[in-house]
Amino acid sequence: MPELPDITIYIEALEKRISGHTIERIQLNSPFLLRTASPPISAIEGKKVIELRRLGKRICIGVENDLWLVLHLMIAGRLYWKQLEAPRGQVHAKGAPRQPPKNQLAIFHFDNGLLSLTEAGTQRRASLHIVEGKSNLSDLAHGGVEPLEIDLHDFAATLRSENHTLKRALTDPRLFSGIGNAYSDEILWQAQLSPVKLTQKMSDEEIERLYEATRNSLQEWIERLRAETGDAFPEKVTAFRRRMAVHGRYKEPCPRCGQKVQRIRYASNETNYCPKCQTGGKLLADRALSRLLREDWPRSIEELS
What pLDDT is attached to residue 124?
A: 85
Structural class in CATH, domain 152-304: mainly alpha
Of the options 2.60.40.10, 3.40.50.10470, 3.20.190.10, 3.30.930.10, the CATH number for the domain spanning 4-140: 3.20.190.10
126 by Cβ neighbours in 10 Å (0-12 / 13-18 / 19+) ranks as buried
- H helix runs in 46-123, sequence order: none
Q: Considering Cα of 191, then 211, then 157, then 146, what sign does the dihedral take? A: negative
What pLDDT is attached to residue 91?
A: 45
What pLDDT is attached to residue 283?
A: 93
pTM of the model: 0.89
What pLDDT is attached to residue 94?
A: 47
Q: Considering Cα of 122, then 268, then 201, then 163, what sign does the dihedral take? A: positive
Give the Cα separation of 302 and 235 in Å (integer): 42
State the DSSP code for 42: G
Per-residue pLDDT of the chain (305 residues; tens, 9 = 90+): 899 999 999 999 999 999 999 999 999 999 899 999 999 999 999 999 999 999 999 999 999 999 999 999 999 999 999 998 755 554 444 454 466 778 899 999 999 999 999 999 878 899 999 999 999 999 998 899 999 999 999 999 999 999 999 999 999 999 999 999 999 999 999 999 999 999 999 999 999 999 999 999 999 999 999 999 999 999 889 888 889 999 999 999 999 999 999 999 876 788 999 999 999 999 998 755 444 334 433 454 544 45
> 4-140 and 152-304 share one CATH topology?
no
What pLDDT is attached to residue 298?
A: 44
Give the Cα separation of 141 and 207 in Å (integer): 25
Residue-by-residue DSSP string for 159-170? HTTS--BHHHHH
Contact predicate 301/259, CB 8 Å: yes
Give the Cα separation of 50 and 76 in Å (integer): 27
Contact predicate 51/91, CB 8 Å: no
What pLDDT is attached to residue 100?
A: 73
The domain spans of the chain are 4-140, 152-304
What pLDDT is attached to residue 304?
A: 47
